[in-house]
Structure 1
Amino acid sequence: MAQTIVVSSQQLVEEAERAIETLTVAQALALHGRDDVTFVDIRDPREREREGKIPGAFSCTRGMLEFWIDPASRYYKPVFGEDKTFVFFCAGGLRSALAAATAKHMGLQPVAHMAGGFGAWRDAGGPLEAPEARKAT
Protein backbone atom coordinates (compact mmCIF):
# COMPACT_ATOMS: atom_id res chain seq x y z
CA MET A 1 0.00 0.00 0.00
CA ALA A 2 1.33 3.44 -0.95
CA GLN A 3 2.06 6.04 1.71
CA THR A 4 -0.45 8.84 2.13
CA ILE A 5 1.17 12.16 2.95
CA VAL A 6 -1.31 14.24 4.94
CA VAL A 7 0.78 17.39 5.38
CA SER A 8 2.86 18.72 2.51
CA SER A 9 6.31 20.20 2.87
CA GLN A 10 4.87 23.53 1.73
CA GLN A 11 2.28 23.36 4.53
CA LEU A 12 5.04 22.72 7.05
CA VAL A 13 6.96 25.76 5.82
CA GLU A 14 3.83 27.93 5.93
CA GLU A 15 3.09 26.79 9.50
CA ALA A 16 6.68 27.52 10.50
CA GLU A 17 6.55 31.00 8.99
CA ARG A 18 3.39 31.79 10.97
CA ALA A 19 5.22 30.83 14.18
CA ILE A 20 8.44 32.79 13.63
CA GLU A 21 9.72 36.16 12.49
CA THR A 22 10.70 36.36 8.83
CA LEU A 23 13.28 39.00 7.97
CA THR A 24 13.71 40.57 4.57
CA VAL A 25 17.23 40.61 3.19
CA ALA A 26 17.39 44.36 3.91
CA GLN A 27 16.48 43.72 7.57
CA ALA A 28 19.05 40.92 7.79
CA LEU A 29 21.74 43.12 6.22
CA ALA A 30 21.04 45.75 8.89
CA LEU A 31 21.62 43.13 11.62
CA HIS A 32 24.77 41.64 10.11
CA GLY A 33 27.90 42.28 12.14
CA ARG A 34 26.11 43.19 15.36
CA ASP A 35 27.52 41.60 18.51
CA ASP A 36 24.05 40.60 19.71
CA VAL A 37 23.12 38.66 16.55
CA THR A 38 24.31 35.27 15.31
CA PHE A 39 23.59 34.21 11.74
CA VAL A 40 23.14 30.42 11.53
CA ASP A 41 23.87 28.83 8.15
CA ILE A 42 22.04 25.51 7.97
CA ARG A 43 23.13 24.68 4.43
CA ASP A 44 24.96 21.49 3.67
CA PRO A 45 28.79 21.79 3.67
CA ARG A 46 28.82 21.14 -0.09
CA GLU A 47 26.58 24.17 -0.60
CA ARG A 48 28.96 26.36 1.40
CA GLU A 49 31.95 25.01 -0.53
CA ARG A 50 30.21 25.72 -3.83
CA GLU A 51 28.53 29.07 -3.09
CA GLY A 52 30.58 30.67 -0.32
CA LYS A 53 29.47 31.97 3.06
CA ILE A 54 28.12 34.98 4.88
CA PRO A 55 31.03 36.33 6.95
CA GLY A 56 30.76 35.47 10.62
CA ALA A 57 27.89 33.02 10.19
CA PHE A 58 27.89 29.91 12.37
CA SER A 59 27.55 26.74 10.30
CA CYS A 60 25.14 24.08 11.56
CA THR A 61 23.67 21.55 9.18
CA ARG A 62 19.92 21.06 9.46
CA GLY A 63 20.39 17.46 10.53
CA MET A 64 22.35 18.36 13.69
CA LEU A 65 20.36 21.44 14.73
CA GLU A 66 18.28 19.94 17.53
CA PHE A 67 21.30 18.16 19.02
CA TRP A 68 23.51 21.25 18.88
CA ILE A 69 20.84 23.43 20.55
CA ASP A 70 20.06 21.04 23.43
CA PRO A 71 22.42 21.61 26.38
CA ALA A 72 21.71 18.04 27.57
CA SER A 73 22.96 16.58 24.28
CA ARG A 74 26.52 15.38 23.98
CA TYR A 75 26.63 17.33 20.70
CA TYR A 76 25.65 20.69 22.28
CA LYS A 77 27.36 23.78 20.89
CA PRO A 78 27.81 26.66 23.37
CA VAL A 79 27.03 29.23 20.68
CA PHE A 80 23.37 28.32 21.17
CA GLY A 81 23.60 29.22 24.87
CA GLU A 82 24.59 32.81 24.16
CA ASP A 83 22.17 35.67 24.82
CA LYS A 84 21.75 36.67 21.18
CA THR A 85 19.22 36.85 18.39
CA PHE A 86 19.62 33.89 16.02
CA VAL A 87 18.95 34.49 12.33
CA PHE A 88 18.69 31.23 10.42
CA PHE A 89 19.24 30.98 6.68
CA CYS A 90 19.57 28.28 4.04
CA ALA A 91 19.88 28.46 0.27
CA GLY A 92 16.37 29.69 -0.50
CA GLY A 93 14.48 30.23 2.75
CA LEU A 94 12.51 27.00 3.18
CA ARG A 95 14.75 24.89 5.42
CA SER A 96 15.58 27.94 7.52
CA ALA A 97 11.90 28.54 8.28
CA LEU A 98 11.63 24.97 9.55
CA ALA A 99 14.89 25.30 11.49
CA ALA A 100 13.90 28.57 13.15
CA ALA A 101 10.50 27.14 14.13
CA THR A 102 12.17 24.07 15.63
CA ALA A 103 14.68 26.23 17.52
CA LYS A 104 11.87 28.40 18.87
CA HIS A 105 9.87 25.30 19.85
CA MET A 106 12.92 24.06 21.78
CA GLY A 107 13.10 27.38 23.66
CA LEU A 108 15.80 29.27 21.78
CA GLN A 109 14.86 32.93 21.54
CA PRO A 110 14.71 35.26 19.89
CA VAL A 111 14.92 33.55 16.51
CA ALA A 112 14.10 34.58 12.96
CA HIS A 113 14.83 33.40 9.47
CA MET A 114 15.84 35.26 6.35
CA ALA A 115 13.39 35.15 3.43
CA GLY A 116 15.06 34.06 0.22
CA GLY A 117 18.09 32.67 2.03
CA PHE A 118 21.67 32.86 0.85
CA GLY A 119 20.57 33.37 -2.76
CA ALA A 120 18.65 36.52 -1.87
CA TRP A 121 21.56 37.75 0.27
CA ARG A 122 24.01 37.25 -2.63
CA ASP A 123 21.64 38.86 -5.13
CA ALA A 124 21.23 41.88 -2.83
CA GLY A 125 25.00 42.39 -2.75
CA GLY A 126 25.46 41.25 0.86
CA PRO A 127 29.03 40.60 1.99
CA LEU A 128 30.37 37.15 1.11
CA GLU A 129 33.33 34.93 1.82
CA ALA A 130 34.46 33.18 -1.34
CA PRO A 131 33.92 29.43 -1.66
CA GLU A 132 36.69 27.35 -0.16
CA ALA A 133 39.11 25.87 -2.66
CA ARG A 134 38.77 22.11 -2.87
CA LYS A 135 41.84 20.22 -1.78
CA ALA A 136 43.36 17.86 -4.29
CA THR A 137 43.41 14.27 -3.10
Structure 2
Amino acid sequence: MEPVETDLLLLLATLRFRLQPRLEASGLKLTWDAGEVPPLEWLDQRHALHILRILQETFANILKHAEAREVALSVRTEDGHVLVRVRDDGRGFDPALPVTGRGLANQRRRAEAIGGRVIWEPAPAGACLLLMLPVRKTVTKDG
Protein backbone atom coordinates (compact mmCIF):
# COMPACT_ATOMS: atom_id res chain seq x y z
CA MET A 1 0.00 0.00 0.00
CA GLU A 2 1.40 3.40 -0.97
CA PRO A 3 1.79 6.05 1.74
CA VAL A 4 -1.22 8.34 1.68
CA GLU A 5 -1.85 11.67 3.38
CA THR A 6 -4.29 11.54 6.29
CA ASP A 7 -5.21 15.22 6.04
CA LEU A 8 -7.95 15.64 3.42
CA LEU A 9 -6.65 18.87 1.93
CA LEU A 10 -3.10 17.50 1.71
CA LEU A 11 -4.47 14.33 0.13
CA LEU A 12 -6.32 16.40 -2.47
CA ALA A 13 -3.27 18.58 -3.11
CA THR A 14 -1.18 15.46 -3.72
CA LEU A 15 -3.82 14.14 -6.11
CA ARG A 16 -3.84 17.44 -7.99
CA PHE A 17 -0.04 17.39 -8.26
CA ARG A 18 -0.13 13.86 -9.66
CA LEU A 19 -3.00 14.53 -12.07
CA GLN A 20 -1.98 17.94 -13.42
CA PRO A 21 0.49 16.71 -16.10
CA ARG A 22 -1.95 14.12 -17.43
CA LEU A 23 -4.83 16.61 -17.52
CA GLU A 24 -2.70 19.23 -19.27
CA ALA A 25 -1.45 16.68 -21.80
CA SER A 26 -5.06 15.82 -22.67
CA GLY A 27 -6.02 19.49 -23.00
CA LEU A 28 -8.37 19.34 -20.01
CA LYS A 29 -8.61 22.58 -18.00
CA LEU A 30 -8.80 22.04 -14.24
CA THR A 31 -10.47 24.43 -11.80
CA TRP A 32 -9.67 23.68 -8.16
CA ASP A 33 -11.59 25.21 -5.26
CA ALA A 34 -10.67 23.44 -2.03
CA GLY A 35 -11.78 25.65 0.86
CA GLU A 36 -11.20 25.16 4.55
CA VAL A 37 -12.56 21.97 6.03
CA PRO A 38 -12.53 20.66 9.58
CA PRO A 39 -10.08 17.87 10.40
CA LEU A 40 -11.52 14.40 9.88
CA GLU A 41 -10.35 12.62 13.03
CA TRP A 42 -11.31 9.23 11.56
CA LEU A 43 -9.17 9.70 8.44
CA ASP A 44 -6.37 7.16 8.60
CA GLN A 45 -4.24 5.80 5.73
CA ARG A 46 -6.73 3.05 4.89
CA HIS A 47 -9.63 5.52 4.65
CA ALA A 48 -7.50 8.06 2.77
CA LEU A 49 -6.61 5.40 0.21
CA HIS A 50 -10.34 4.80 -0.42
CA ILE A 51 -10.87 8.53 -1.02
CA LEU A 52 -7.86 8.67 -3.33
CA ARG A 53 -9.07 5.69 -5.36
CA ILE A 54 -12.61 7.11 -5.66
CA LEU A 55 -11.26 10.37 -7.04
CA GLN A 56 -8.68 8.69 -9.27
CA GLU A 57 -11.46 6.60 -10.82
CA THR A 58 -13.52 9.76 -11.35
CA PHE A 59 -10.72 11.53 -13.20
CA ALA A 60 -9.84 8.38 -15.17
CA ASN A 61 -13.48 8.12 -16.31
CA ILE A 62 -13.50 11.77 -17.33
CA LEU A 63 -10.30 11.35 -19.33
CA LYS A 64 -11.42 8.10 -20.92
CA HIS A 65 -15.14 8.65 -21.58
CA ALA A 66 -16.36 12.22 -21.08
CA GLU A 67 -14.76 14.09 -23.99
CA ALA A 68 -14.68 17.04 -21.59
CA ARG A 69 -12.81 20.30 -22.01
CA GLU A 70 -13.10 21.43 -18.39
CA VAL A 71 -13.31 19.77 -15.00
CA ALA A 72 -13.84 21.43 -11.63
CA LEU A 73 -13.21 20.09 -8.15
CA SER A 74 -14.65 21.85 -5.13
CA VAL A 75 -14.59 21.05 -1.43
CA ARG A 76 -17.06 22.46 1.09
CA THR A 77 -18.43 21.65 4.53
CA GLU A 78 -22.19 21.42 4.91
CA ASP A 79 -24.53 19.81 7.43
CA GLY A 80 -21.87 17.72 9.17
CA HIS A 81 -20.28 16.51 5.92
CA VAL A 82 -17.32 17.43 3.80
CA LEU A 83 -18.55 17.54 0.21
CA VAL A 84 -16.09 16.87 -2.59
CA ARG A 85 -17.64 17.62 -6.00
CA VAL A 86 -16.07 16.80 -9.34
CA ARG A 87 -17.98 18.27 -12.28
CA ASP A 88 -17.06 18.05 -15.96
CA ASP A 89 -18.53 19.58 -19.11
CA GLY A 90 -18.35 16.38 -21.15
CA ARG A 91 -21.05 14.22 -22.66
CA GLY A 92 -22.35 12.94 -19.34
CA PHE A 93 -24.01 9.63 -18.59
CA ASP A 94 -27.07 8.26 -16.86
CA PRO A 95 -25.93 6.54 -13.64
CA ALA A 96 -29.28 4.70 -13.49
CA LEU A 97 -28.46 2.74 -16.65
CA PRO A 98 -26.60 -0.57 -16.39
CA VAL A 99 -22.83 -0.24 -16.80
CA THR A 100 -20.37 -2.75 -18.15
CA GLY A 101 -17.42 -1.87 -15.90
CA ARG A 102 -16.92 -2.08 -12.16
CA GLY A 103 -15.64 1.46 -11.57
CA LEU A 104 -18.88 3.10 -10.39
CA ALA A 105 -19.76 0.16 -8.13
CA ASN A 106 -16.23 0.21 -6.69
CA GLN A 107 -16.56 3.94 -5.96
CA ARG A 108 -19.82 3.37 -4.13
CA ARG A 109 -18.40 0.42 -2.18
CA ARG A 110 -15.29 2.36 -1.17
CA ALA A 111 -17.35 5.35 0.00
CA GLU A 112 -19.63 3.11 2.07
CA ALA A 113 -16.60 1.37 3.61
CA ILE A 114 -15.50 4.69 5.14
CA GLY A 115 -18.97 5.86 6.19
CA GLY A 116 -19.42 8.14 3.19
CA ARG A 117 -21.58 8.23 0.10
CA VAL A 118 -21.06 8.71 -3.62
CA ILE A 119 -23.86 10.42 -5.52
CA TRP A 120 -23.94 11.25 -9.22
CA GLU A 121 -25.82 14.53 -9.34
CA PRO A 122 -27.77 15.78 -12.34
CA ALA A 123 -25.80 18.34 -14.32
CA PRO A 124 -26.96 20.62 -17.15
CA ALA A 125 -24.04 19.29 -19.19
CA GLY A 126 -21.47 16.67 -18.39
CA ALA A 127 -21.44 14.75 -15.14
CA CYS A 128 -21.07 15.58 -11.46
CA LEU A 129 -19.83 13.24 -8.74
CA LEU A 130 -20.47 14.17 -5.13
CA LEU A 131 -18.42 12.42 -2.47
CA MET A 132 -19.96 13.00 0.96
CA LEU A 133 -17.65 12.37 3.91
CA PRO A 134 -18.85 12.63 7.50
CA VAL A 135 -17.02 15.14 9.67
CA ARG A 136 -17.54 12.77 12.62
CA LYS A 137 -18.20 9.07 12.50
CA THR A 138 -19.94 6.96 15.08
CA VAL A 139 -17.71 4.17 16.29
CA THR A 140 -18.72 0.64 15.37
CA LYS A 141 -17.20 -2.72 16.22
CA ASP A 142 -15.77 -3.22 12.71
CA GLY A 143 -14.30 0.29 12.39
TM class by shorter chain equals: under 0.3
Bigger proportion of residues as strand: 2
* Structure 1 length-normalised TM: 0.23
Bigger proportion of residues as helix: 1
* Structure 2 length-normalised TM: 0.23
